[in-house]
Amino acid sequence: MISSKEELREKYIKLRAGISQKSRKSQDLLGVFKKSSLQNKFSNWLLYKSAGSEISVDRIADFLKEMNKNLFLPFIEELAVGKFDEYLRAVDKGHAVFFEPANAIKNHNVEVALIPALVFDLQGNRLGYGKLAWYDRFLQNTNIYKIGICFDEQLIDNLNPEKHDIPMDAIITDKKILYINKISS
């Protein structure tokens, strides 16, 4: 049995890197996303630019832009966001490279966030890289609806979350949607 978070991270970094047909699966992710009503419920979306072997949400971003939604990206250097279409710069944090907008916006109206991870469990808990805890810190004390995004292979039965871990409200994979918490009206 894998016990430590570091062992889990190592396992799922390798698993995610080995997933084949990532482009097709990213297209499948868009199809699953379109079947939900999520795009009709929110106007202001926090997305991410995929790095390495993360599942891409670029097609979802294009779809949301066509629907005139407001899109934002994490601003890694601060607990802020920036406009999605701004010039992106690479921020190397040693363990990973992140892409962020050039300018931070502290006063935003993000309603929903698409959040990557190495692995999610069926209760909505996530395991990220464990270095920055940006999403946990950013989402703390907010009402932002949290949607985990991953390949279906990254979904497991149970993680052992810590007190500071913030669970997702839903998870979308290239095969299905798992609703954990209903959307508040």
Domain containing 68 — which CATH number?
A: 3.40.50.10420
11: domain range?
A: 5-179
As for how many domains the chain has, the answer is 1
Q: Which residue in this structure is represented by tokens 């050039």? A: 102
List, as one string, the DSSP characters of 155-181: EES-----TT----SEEE-SS-EEESS
The span from the CA of 113 to the CA of 157, in Å, is 23
Reported pTM:
0.86
Q: What percent of the chain has pLDDT over 90?
A: 41
How far from chain centre, in Å, is Cα 44?
15
- What average pLDDT does the segment 62-88 reach? 84
pLDDT recorded at residue 45: 96
pLDDT recorded at residue 167: 94
Judge whether 184 lies within some domain. no
pLDDT class of 95 with cuts at 50, 70, 90:
low
Q: 132 pLDDT exceeds 80?
A: no
Judge whether 122 lies within some domain. yes
Two structure tokens written together for 12: 């799922």
Judge whether 123 lies within some domain. yes
The span from the CA of 30 to the CA of 24, in Å, is 10
pLDDT recorded at residue 1: 40
Judge whether 87 lies within some domain. yes
